[in-house]
Amino acid sequence: MNIGEAAKASGVTAKMIRYYEETGLIPAPGRSASGYRTYSHRDIQMLRFVRRARDLGFAMDRITDLLALWRDRTRASGDVKRLALDQVAGLQTRIREMQEMVATLQTLADACAGDHHPDCPILADLEGERSIVHTAAHPNGRFGQP
């Protein structure tokens, strides 16, 4: 299977497949005589695996861990489950942060007439000395991994 077919079969673009290989997330596949990458059924499984893990919001380094467990026939399912539950916890944290944003925005919007007049509590709050905006610490980048 060439990279294009592998991409179609796995849902990972050819570009991304090469990138994952370059960064060591996945091993380099075999090559045809003319230098084309060739992918086995197992490789497709692996690519699908990565794709799905991404769809669950896992960061790349977590996927590295998941793949290691996937390949390890002597793994403990408890290790996999822990990664999954950690991910749940991380997602829930970010969900909570966004829900706070929604609540704040909704409060501000409720206080705003929303007509043709210029007076606007939303802008007033954003510019002011004191504000209801929860100016939390966002340690990793902005909102976490994805």
Partner DNA sequence: CTTGACCTTCCCATGATGGGAACCCCCATA
Partner DNA sequence: TATGGGGGTTCCCATCATGGGAAGGTCAAG
Could you list the residues that contact its own copies (CB under 8 A)? 11, 45-46, 48-49, 51-57, 66, 69-70, 72-78, 80-82, 84-85, 87-88, 91-92, 94-95, 98-99, 101-102, 104-106, 108-109, 112-120, 122-123, 125-128, 131, 133-136, 138, 142-143, 146
Find which of its own copies, DNA, none residue 37 binds, CB within 5 to 8 Å per kind.
DNA
CB of 12 to its own copies, least distance (A): 11
* C-alpha angle 99-57-50 in degrees, rounded to nearest 5: 170
Query: What would you report as the CA-atom Rg of the chain, rounded to the nearest whole angstrom?
Result: 23
Nearest to 42 by CA among 66, 9, 64: 9
CA 26 – CA 23 distance, rounded (Å): 8
CB of 48 to its own copies, least distance (A): 7
Report the residue number, 34 or 117, with the smaller CB distance to its own copies: 117
CA 111 – CA 89 distance, rounded (Å): 33
